[in-house]
Amino acid sequence: MKETTKIGIIICDRYRRCAGGKCFRSLRNREGAFKRYKNMEVETVGYTSCDGCPGGNIEYAVDEMKGNGAEVVHLATGLVVGYPPCPHIVYFHDFIEKRYGLEVVYGTHPIPKKYLDMHKKMGTWDTPEWSQIIEPTMADEATGSAYD
């Protein structure tokens, strides 16, 4: 029997009506931050928003995800590419790791090219910290364009 990795996904509340199309497509295709699961079985055990700034749902949602067997929590790409990017994303990452002992991954689907281009113009991610945050969701130009 294959072992299944159980994951949870937290999206930015600005996109609370998002049905997860890009996240689930990239999970199915093992693109973006989901490329880490190539040749692995994955089960999504939770998908919700942070509940808006400053992230009031982070504690409760992750508690439920962990209760459903989550081993990894993905902070969705929307938290990274929004205008502005989530000001609490590093705190969410560190809190979830320390409070729940779960691995936390920045991002889900590849960064769409249109967001990458705009954030480059704005210099949004021109720091070592942001370079590390966006790394799992960086893709070649064709893949980024496919997520526009």
pLDDT tens for 16-57 read 999 999 999 999 999 999 999 999 999 999 999 999 999 999
How does strand 103-106 pair with strand 41-49? unpaired
The tens digit of pLDDT for each residue in 37-46 reads: 999 999 999 9
- 3 pLDDT band, cuts 50/70/90, is confident
Max Cα–Cα distance, the chain, nearest Å: 48
Q: Is the pLDDT of residue 1 over 70?
A: no
Q: Is the Cβ–Cβ distance between 15 and 52 less than 8 Å?
A: no
Going along the chain from its start, the domains and CATH numbers come out as 4-146 (3.40.50)
Which has the closest alpha carbon to 76: 127, 22, 123, 124? 22
- Structural element, H or E, at residue 8: strand 4-11
The tens digit of pLDDT for each residue in 91-121 reads: 999 999 999 999 999 999 999 999 999 999 9
Average pLDDT over residues 7-20: 96
d(CA 120, CA 123): 5
Tokens of 131: 């370079």
Average pLDDT over residues 72-100: 98
pLDDT of residue 2: 61
Q: Is the pLDDT of residue 134 over 70?
A: yes
- The torsion angles phi and psi of 65, rounded to 5 degrees, stand at -60, -45
With 0.85 as the threshold, say if the pTM is over it: yes
Four-residue CA torsion sign, 101, 139, 135, 50: negative
